Amino acid sequence: MVQTLEMAPASPRVAAPNEGEPGRMKNLIKRLGSAAALITLVLWTLFQSSLLVFAAMMLVFVSIALFEFFTMVRHRGILVHRPLSVTLGVVFTALVAWRSLVEPGLVPTPVLGPGATAISWMWDIFWPATIVIIFIRQFTRENTFEALGGLATTLFGLAYIAALFSYLFYIRTIDPVQGKWLVLFLILVTKMGDAGAYFVGNVLGRHTLIPRISPRKTVEGFVGAVIVSGLTAIVAAPLLGRPIGLGLSLLLGLFLGCCGQLGDLAESLLKRDCQVKDTGQLMPGLGGVLDVIDSLLFTAPLFYGILIYG
């Protein structure tokens, strides 16, 4: 018997009004605790574990973020088959991990024969097969309500989360040793920008950036995030493993900081449309996994492009 699509669970946190100063302090304490745990996990995964453990950790993050995303869109009323969609995202990420271990860089290669790697499977087979699979899943539904929305949302979720986040693995495997420092550089610059946006926005924020998307994001917070990312890039420049001047370090940080905030704003747009505050509650004070990686989804592919072609 065909499994029916259940209605959206109430796991995403619905947007609520400002909780006041005591609420902010309590939230800050939760944020710091969750951030400390995440930092410990990231450092251990990068420097104390094998590349396979790093790949496994990425698969865990992708699967949870996809689950949160497809739960959130169900809250919006869009019908998607969550188990199938999450499975497809995990398969794609696993293919990226395998392909990155075989040959770093984005170079087209054949499916079979000498030099074949997973890149051809990903682009020549995976995405067309995915489209066919989700169409077949739609065929088995009892009605055609929101068929287009379900198809489009599934593909978007896979591209938005699985494809973009997988660039962290490309960066990690650029070099067996230097790759881990490049990932650390990217995370530092991006997430310090997020921290800068939070603190500057709370202390100095007066002018709302885009009220219809996020009433709490301010122009001051955005500018603070970009500046903090720029300064962080200057300090962390030795992690790049190549000589880079002060000016280029600053420009790189400002660029990544700006892109990171656009990534955060993009997720806010999705959450606003779905009328949720956080995509999950797995990380107290920070929300869900998708709330944590949203800025990295924009900065990771761009940073990889700079490393390869810059």
pLDDT in tens, 269-298: 999 999 998 898 899 888 999 999 999 999
Amino acid in the structure at residue 178: Q
The answer to whether residue 146 scores a pLDDT higher than 90 is no
How many CB atoms are located within 10 Å of the residue 122 CB? 18
Most confident range, picked from 18-22, 141-145, 250-254: 250-254
Q: Which of 172-186, 221-235, 252-266 is predicted with the least confidence, judged by mean pLDDT?
A: 172-186
The reported pLDDT for the residue numbered 11 is 43
Q: Is the pLDDT of residue 72 over 60?
A: yes
Average confidence score pLDDT of the chain: 86
- Quote the CA–CA distance of 59 and 52 in Å, as a whole number: 11
> Which pTM does this prediction carry?
0.87
Task: Kindly indicate the confidence band of residue 18, based on its pLDDT and cuts at 50, 70 and 90.
Answer: very low
Which residues, in sequence order, are CB contacts of 87 under 8 Å at separation 6+? none
Mapping DSSP onto H, E and C, the string for the chain reads: CCCCCCCCCCCCECCCCCCHHHHHHHHHHHHHHHHHHHHHHHHHHHHCCCHHHHHHHHHHHHHHHHHHHHHHHHHHCCCCCHHHHHHHHHHHHHHHHHHHHHCCCCCCCCCCCCCCCHHHHHHHHHHHHHHHHHHHHHHCCCCCCCHHHHHHHHHHHHHHHHHHHCHHHHHHCCCCCHHHHHHHHHHHHHHHHHHHHHHHHHHHCCCEEECCCEEEEEHHHHHHHHHHHHHHHHHHHHHHCCCCCHHHHHHHHHHHHHHHHHHHHHHHHHHHHHCCCECCCCECCCECHHHHHHHHHHHHHHHHHHHHHC
- pLDDT recorded at residue 117: 52
Section 117-135 average pLDDT:
77
Ranges of each domain in the chain:
49-173, 176-310
pLDDT band at 239 (very low <50, low <70, confident <90, very high): very high
Query: What separation in angstroms does the CA of 62 have from each of 68, 89, 300?
Result: 10, 7, 14
**What average pLDDT score do residues 222-245 get?**
95
Predicted pLDDT of residue 100 = 77
